Amino acid sequence: MPKIVFKGKLKYRLQSYLALSKISSTVLIKRLYNKSLNSAWPILFEIGVLFWRNQFNRAFEHKDIKEGRAYFDSLITTTGETFPVNSEPSEPNEPPGVWYEPSKKKPDIHALYLHGGGYTFRSDVSSYYAKALTSLLDVRLFKPHYRLTPENPHPAQLEDAVQAYKYMLEKSIDHKRIFLIGDSAGGHLVLMLLQELKKQNLPRPFLSLPLCPWTDVGERGASLFGNDKYDLVQGYMAVKFGEWLQGNTSFTREQLSPISYDYSDLGPIYMQAGGKEILVDMIRDFAIKTKSDGTEVMLDVWPEMTHNFQMHGETHPDSKEAFKRLKEIIHHKIQQNKTWDISPRTEVSSQQFVASPQE
């Protein structure tokens, strides 16, 4: 069953709960008259999309982003799944963040998880997602608390991500047992981190998994505003996140956008996206360009899904399938002993991805 968690100021808790109640009632009434936003969505999925859209919109209305974050964090909804995971913060002299590990095993595969939130939010949702990733993918995971915008524009987040990756290497974790994973802005950071690891001549991870990644900080693709009707994140938010990432620096759109870079020797990169999300067109553009550059890349798209649909864990068939694909690709790339197959969801795939290592 879905779970609600309250946090912070009472007035924000009440406002958020009233918003959730109103949205739930509206969706239920509309469903009685066959007026759902998307007939392919379960009721709770539609309520979740509209609620989180409301929370983002209300957070953006606050002039003080700290108050916006406080409002956003005041009510968190989760799938209610229980993940048997232990968590432990890093030491004071280490990069700030949290380690997650399955409670009944000690995996030898490690993940550097770069959370989403437009580089501006870090809510308990990302902690819940980190637990889901740890449990469902059977990995040991580190989630760094990188600096946020607009207080800290680029390259603060990239510097923190590099520091977190070096920290994992310093703990004697073999880079051949590390993969990168990030959602939304975290997917953007995964791709930017790959470029920086190359620049600094650091050993690279065996796999990168940008989920619903932000690949262009500018206005790209009809879906950026065309899918506003369906998505929990809106086009104007992506534009604003880009402005905050740039801040008052001299960095250009091209310098801040992964789609402007060459990834030909930085694969394998496996991406997932939702067909109803605002970023899907730029994600497709990135996959096509990156494939044409000769990169080992694959993109799977779930047509009816929204941004960050994987957060539904195993409670929705599409999210469950997405996690299954993620787990398969991790073990395929680390074992290199079986063919990795395209699926009905696959829109872009380079030959390297589907070829058997024995061939």
Give the model confidence (pLDDT) of 9-68 as tens digits. Answer: 999 999 999 999 999 999 999 999 999 999 999 999 999 999 999 999 999 999 999 999
Q: What whole-number distance in Å separates Cα of residue 355 and Cα of residue 342?
A: 10
Q: What is the pLDDT of residues 126-176, one digit of tens each?
A: 999 999 999 999 999 999 999 999 999 999 999 999 999 999 999 999 999
pTM score of the predicted model: 0.96
Check whether residue 222 and residue 126 sit in a common domain: yes
Is residue 202 in a domain? yes
Domain residues for the domain of 146 are 102-354
HSE-up (13 A, CA, CB side) for residue 139: 28
Q: What whole-number distance in Å separates Cα of residue 251 and Cα of residue 295?
A: 26
Check whether residue 71 and residue 119 sit in a common domain: no
Check whether residue 46 and residue 179 sit in a common domain: no
Number of domains composing the chain: 2
Check whether residue 340 and residue 265 sit in a common domain: yes
Check whether residue 72 and residue 106 sit in a common domain: no
Check whether residue 106 and residue 74 sit in a common domain: no
Is residue 92 in a domain? no
Residue 357 has pLDDT above 60, yes or no: no
Is residue 47 in a domain? yes
Check whether residue 126 and residue 67 sit in a common domain: no
Q: 84-104: b or e for each residue (b if 16 or more CB lie within 10 Å)?
A: ebeeeebeeebbebbbbbbee
How far apart, in Å, are the Cα atoms of 35 and each of 38, 40, 46, 83, 157? 8, 12, 12, 35, 42
Check whether residue 74 and residue 108 sit in a common domain: no
Q: What's the average model confidence in pLDDT over 81-94?
A: 96
User: What confidence score (pLDDT) does residue 352 get?
Assistant: 76
2 in Cβ contact with 75 (< 8 Å): no
Q: What's the average model confidence in pLDDT over 207-235?
A: 98
> In this structure, what CATH number is given to the domain that contains residue 134?
3.40.50.1820
Q: What would the two tokens of residue 300 be?
A: 């799977």
Is residue 91 in a domain? no
* Domain-terminating residue out of 23, 43, 78: 78
The 8-class DSSP code of residue 340 comes to: P
Check whether residue 60 and residue 112 sit in a common domain: no
